[in-house]
Every structure is written in structure tokens, then in C-alpha cells.
């Protein structure tokens, strides 16, 4: 960006141009010292070499006439950029047909979008959404804000040794449990343990919520990694079963580090009585997924005492607004579209990688603005009743979710 003028970016909505690539690639046309004030974004809606092709296979080099027609097809495609000329004081133009979606954008606006949102993914969107985002960037619209202005989003728990802190585990199998104790047996051994739940916290991992309603009120226990060991100081442990377990873990770490170099971070702390202390990730109001595939749900956390695994992100409201109204904002079509446009495709196979830096820059309906507008119209209770119904439902893949009659009523 410092040394070149970006003239055109070409990307496909429907195919990868390299068969072995897991990610979607694009073409960037850039010119050193270019004088054009406009950058064109061209998104192809058909496969280049499909039966309903845009360009088709190149002809043999020796066939002059066929080559002439071939290049005429390419020129015809590029000439469509003339259909989205920026008129007068407008800062972007838009054109769409059955083959392509093209956006022409002044470079001054690109710089503002880069500064405000940090990504150009919004240019993939339909014109109505693009209008909204440009108005937001230019400060001429109310009711839209960035997620970072509303939420403090943090990473989940990182133990540096999940196989030891998460129970049951590959080393200690589930036997039984009640309200007070978790009973385990050593895998490949004869030892059995009874651990007081005073030293355990419920754990929410991604798989625990895969079949959960929007409101997480109980966990799907599968006899594996349902709890995390919660001991701030080993010298204060009074439960004999937990004492035995921590002694086993202590020796396991020491041996593994000496023989295989594993657990370097914890091994340095073993002489401290607080080597088991973990950061507290309880209290999150909302849970966000890192990897998104067809299901865009943002969950309402009803288990505030539970610890959250690192494969989930935690959201805490920054402002005084009803959390259920915030939930409605976070699960709106505008938010989902922002996730689709700003999320990265580097996970491959259609899975979006949406990290904290991405979530922070997603444009959303401002929950405070929404709450105030509903209050003016006397419709706060009506929306909250709809949210309660949504919270009891399991989120569906997006192609079915947007047809949900409750959601349709909510959006209206």
C-alpha cells in the first residue's frame, strides 16, 4: 500500500483457482505510482471454466481467430467496471449481474475503511449492506457501532497441560460422580481416586455446546474433560483424593520434562505451592466460536461459574444495557454478515477463522441505541419475549436459521 496503487482485486465467490489450495486466493492488480483515484473489486459469481462459463478454456496458440474471441471475452468482462462509475460526489459505485458483482471505490474511502474497520471484506457484500457501512464510516448513520465499542472480548482458559488439568482425561477415566465427588480410575493401572468437587470447576469446551440451545444452562457431559482442576495453593488442599492426584501430576510433569522436554512452563513453577493456579475465566456473559462453519450463533452464557476453554472467546458488556437486548444485536443478520465478510478463510474447506481482532471490528446494531429506540416505541418487553423464545432454541445452520419464524418476527 505504501509503494503501489491497487487498481483491481478479483476474487471468486464459487471456486478455488488452485486445486490443492485449502484457502481462497485472489488476483491483485497493482501499479507503481498509479494515478487512478479508484480501486475496483470484482467478485465472480460463476466458475471461469464451467459449462456456463465466464471465459472458458483458452484456445490453442495457433488458432488466431479463437484467440481473438477469447481475449474479447476477457475485455468484455473487464469492461463491466464501466457500469459502476462513481457519479459526482459519490465515493463508490456498484454493479451486479448474473456473472459478477463489482464495486468501484475511491481510494480515500478505502483508507477510511482500513482505519475504521481494518479490512476490506465489506466490499463482498450486497449494495444495501455496503451503503450502511459507508454511511457508518463517514459518520452519517445512527445505530451502528463496532463490537469492540460494546464488548470486552477475551481468550478462554489456557492451562499449558490440558491432559492434566482437564478431567476425566486420557490418563484418568470416568467411573462415577455425584454432587460432591468425581471418581476416576487410572488408565492402564489399578489406582482409583475420589476427588472432592470443591477443587473442580465445570468446564465449557466447544464440543460441550455444539448441540446446546442459544442459552447455555447445562452441559452435555460425555465423561471426558468436563471439569478443570481448581487449586490456587496445593498446601491448602484438605481432600485426600485431590492430594493424591496432584502428587501424581507433579511427578508426571517432572518426569516428562526431564525425559522429553514437555511442560516447560509448568515445570519451572513446580517448586511453588501455586503451580496449579490458573487464570479465572468465569463470569462471561457471551461465548463466541473461533471456527465458524454454517452456524454463526453467539451464545448467552447461563453458567457464569464455569471456566471457558481457549477454543471459545468470552464477551463482557462494557456498557449498561440489557444483556438480552445485546444478545439480539449480536445474533442479528447484520452481525452474521459482518462475521462472514471479515472472518478469514485460512482454515480451509469453507470454515471461517474469526479471531478476537476480527470480532472487534465487526459492525453491529448498537445495543444501547436499540434499547433506547424500543423504549421510545414501548416495544422493549415485546423484543425480550421473543429473545426468551430464541434462547430456548438450538441454533441451526444459516440456510435454515434465517427462515425461523420467530427470528423473522424479531427482525421486523
pLDDT digits (tens, 9 = 90+) for 57-92: 888 999 999 999 889 988 998 899 999 878 767 889
- Tell me the per-residue pLDDT of 273-326, one tens digit each, with 9 for 90 and over: 999 999 999 999 999 999 888 899 999 999 999 999 999 999 999 989 999 999
- Which of helix, strand or coil describes residue 397? coil
Model confidence at 346: pLDDT above 60: no
Parent domain of 378? 284-411
Model confidence at 349: pLDDT above 70: no
In a domain, 150, yes or no: no
pLDDT above 70 covers what percent of the chain? 96
Give the lowest-confidence range in 123-127, 138-142, 239-243.
138-142
308 and 406 part of one domain:
yes
Give the lowest-confidence range in 52-66, 234-248, 366-380, 386-400.
52-66
**Residue finishing a domain among 55, 89, 117:** 117
In a domain, 97, yes or no: yes
Model confidence at 170: pLDDT above 60: yes
290 and 403 part of one domain:
yes
DSSP codes of every residue in 228-267:
EE--S-GGG---HHHHHHHHHHHHHHHHHHHHH---HHHH
The winner for highest mean pLDDT among 136-150, 228-242, 345-359 is: 228-242
In a domain, 197, yes or no: yes
C-alpha 145/C-alpha 148 separation (Å) is 8
- Tell me the per-residue pLDDT of 185-221, one tens digit each, with 9 for 90 and over: 999 999 999 999 999 999 999 988 888 999 999 887 7
348 and 388 part of one domain:
yes
263 and 299 part of one domain:
no
In a domain, 149, yes or no: no
**Residue finishing a domain among 220, 240, 267:** 267
In a domain, 146, yes or no: no
In a domain, 323, yes or no: yes
| Number of separate domains in the chain | 3
299 and 327 part of one domain:
yes
Number of neighbours of residue 121 by Cβ within 10 angstroms: 20
349 and 374 part of one domain:
yes
* pTM for this prediction: 0.86
Amino acid at each position: 500500500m505504501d509503494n503501489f496503487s491497487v487498481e483491481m482485486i478479483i476474487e471468486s465467490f464459487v471456486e478455488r483457482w488452485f486445486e490443492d489450495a485449502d484457502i481462497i486466493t485472489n488476483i491483485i492488480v497493482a501499479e507503481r505510482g498509479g494515478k487512478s483515484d479508484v480501486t475496483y473489486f470484482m467478485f465472480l459469481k460463476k466458475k471461469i471454466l464451467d459449462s456456463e462459463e465466464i471465459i472458458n478454456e483458452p484456445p490453442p496458440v495457433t488458432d488466431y481467430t479463437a484467440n481473438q474471441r477469447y481475449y474479447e471475452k476477457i475485455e468484455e468482462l473487464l469492461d463491466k467496471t464501466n457500469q459502476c462509475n462513481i457519479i459526482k460526489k459519490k465515493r463508490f459505485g456498484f454493479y451486479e449481474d448474473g456473472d459478477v458483482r463489482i464495486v468501484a471505490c475511491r481510494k480515500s474511502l478505502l483508507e477510511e475503511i482500513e482505519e475504521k474497520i481494518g479490512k476490506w471484506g465489506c466490499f463482498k457484500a450486497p449494495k444495501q449492506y455496503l451503503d450502511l457501512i459507508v454511511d457508518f464510516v463517514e459518520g452519517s448513520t445512527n445505530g451502528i457501532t463496532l463490537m469492540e465499542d460494546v464488548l470486552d472480548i477475551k481468550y478462554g482458559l489456557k492451562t499449558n497441560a490440558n491432559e492434566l488439568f482437564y478431567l476425566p482425561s486420557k490418563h484418568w477415566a470416568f467411573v462415577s460422580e455425584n454432587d460432591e465427588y468425581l471418581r476416576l480410575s487410572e488408565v492402564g493401572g489399578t489406582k482409583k481416586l475420589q476427588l472432592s468437587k470443591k477443587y473442580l470447576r465445570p468446564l465449557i469446551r466447544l464440543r460441550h455446546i455444539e448441540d446446546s440451545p442459544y442459552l447455555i444452562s447445562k452441559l452435555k457431559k460425555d465423561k471426558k474433560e468436563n471439569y478443570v482442576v481448581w487449586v490456587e495453593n496445593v498446601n491448602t488442599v484438605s481432600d485426600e483424593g485431590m492430594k493424591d492426584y496432584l502428587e501424581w501430576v507433579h511427578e508426571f510433569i517432572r518426569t516428562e520434562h526431564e525425559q522429553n522436554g514437555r511442560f516447560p512452563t509448568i515445570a519451572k513453577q513446580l517448586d511453588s505451592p501455586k503451580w496449579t493456579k490458573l487464570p479465572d475465566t468465569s463470569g462471561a456473559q457471551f461465548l463466541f466460536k473461533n471456527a465458524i462453519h454454517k452456524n454463526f450463533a453467539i451464545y448467552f452464557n447461563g453458567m457464569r461459574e464455569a471456566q471457558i476453554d481457549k477454543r471459545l472467546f468470552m464477551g463482557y458488556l462494557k456498557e449498561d444495557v440489557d444483556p438480552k437486548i445485546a444478545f439480539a444485536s449480536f445474533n442479528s443478520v447484520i452481525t452474521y454478515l459482518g462475521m462472514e465478510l471479515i472472518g478469514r478463510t485460512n482454515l480451509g474447506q469453507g470454515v471461517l477463522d474469526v479471531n478476537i481482532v476480527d470480532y472487534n471490528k465487526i459492525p453491529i446494531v448498537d445495543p444501547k441505541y436499540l434499547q433506547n429506540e424500543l423504549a421510545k416505541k414501548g416495544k422493549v418487553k415485546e423484543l425480550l419475549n421473543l429473545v426468551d423464545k430464541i434462547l430456548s432454541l438450538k441454533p441451526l445452520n444459516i440456510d435454515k436459521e434465517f427462515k425461523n419464524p420467530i427470528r423473522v418476527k424479531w427482525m421486523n
